[in-house]
A and B are shown apart, each in its own frame.
Chain A
Amino acid sequence: MAPTGDDLQQIAEQVWASYLDTDGAKPLIPLPPDKLSKDVVAGVAVSGAWHGLVLVACSDVASKEAAAALLGMESDDVTEGDVDDALGELANVIGGNVKSLLPEPCTLGLPEVHNNADGDPWLAGDEICRFEATWMGEPMEVSVLEKPQGGGTE
């Protein structure tokens, strides 16, 4: 039993419809973005019968738009703390739903948000599925990384 890219798409689309695209004006488009950008990576660790991370990665612009939408503010006014809170909660909600597809019992950690995370040891692991999308013209990605048991999920 393991989540697939289709599972991630379904979960992400539910999250977007509930919180970021409530009026259908800013849909999450299931097409790989023109450019790759992972300026901000939010993740939650899953531990127990399965160990790994559920991640939401996006561009800086998309992270601010997501925070603005969730917090009801203008994207120009969004602070780093706002991005951490909003992206962390997106990762938490997506992670919780992914956890239900993983072997039981597992527990979900608290969200972490990392900026410019390329090469970050936090992201070491084997990617088991990914969903790439475009949101408001910006790249958005949801992925699941499996880690060796007990390795680095904290």
Chain B
Amino acid sequence: MVIDDSRAMRLILRRIVTGLNFDVVEAGNGREAMDRLEELEAVPELALIDWNMPEMNGLEFVTAVRADKKYRGMTLMMVTTESEHGQIVRALAAGAHEYVIKPFTPDAIVDKLVMLGLIPDGAHA
């Protein structure tokens, strides 16, 4: 799942993870993502989450997902411009597994997914 209020950023992230054989569902903010989660038959393996979004921001989404046991298996990765140490700590404390700061290269995303064990090392040759 790719959650970002920018269509351009969703497209960039979609291209990266589609190339890693993930199927992608998109949402434009945290609220829309929660709605999409309710509709989906299977819980997504991974969510890439922007921080600053209208309606429900990324931190609120992470908090909401972590409060619901049925999404326990979902890996949450913040992908955001928020680069201060305190913000990173807040996101990780709320339940995000990883944190990528924009601007990022495709390799930065791939490296994090390898670290999280979601793809094998060398999957993006």
Contacts and interface: CB of A to CB of B under 8 A. Distances in A.
Contacts, number: 62
B8 A93 contact: no
Tell me if B's interface is mostly helix, strand, loop or mixed: loop
Interface in A98-127: 99-100, 104-105, 108-110
Given A14-B103, A93-B102, A108 B8 contact: no
Interface in A58-77: 67, 70-72
Interface stretch (B32-40, B82-90, B91-99): B82-90
Q: How large is the interface on B (under 10, 10 to 19, 20 to 34, 35 or more residues)?
A: 20 to 34
B26 interface: no
Contacts of A96: 52, 80-83, 101-102
Interface residues of A, number: 26
A85 B54 contact: no
Given A96-B101, A96-B102, A99-B83, 13 more contacts: A19-B103, A70-B8, A70-B11, A72-B11, A89-B6, A89-B9, A92-B6, A96-B52, A96-B81, A96-B83, A108-B52, A109-B52, A110-B53
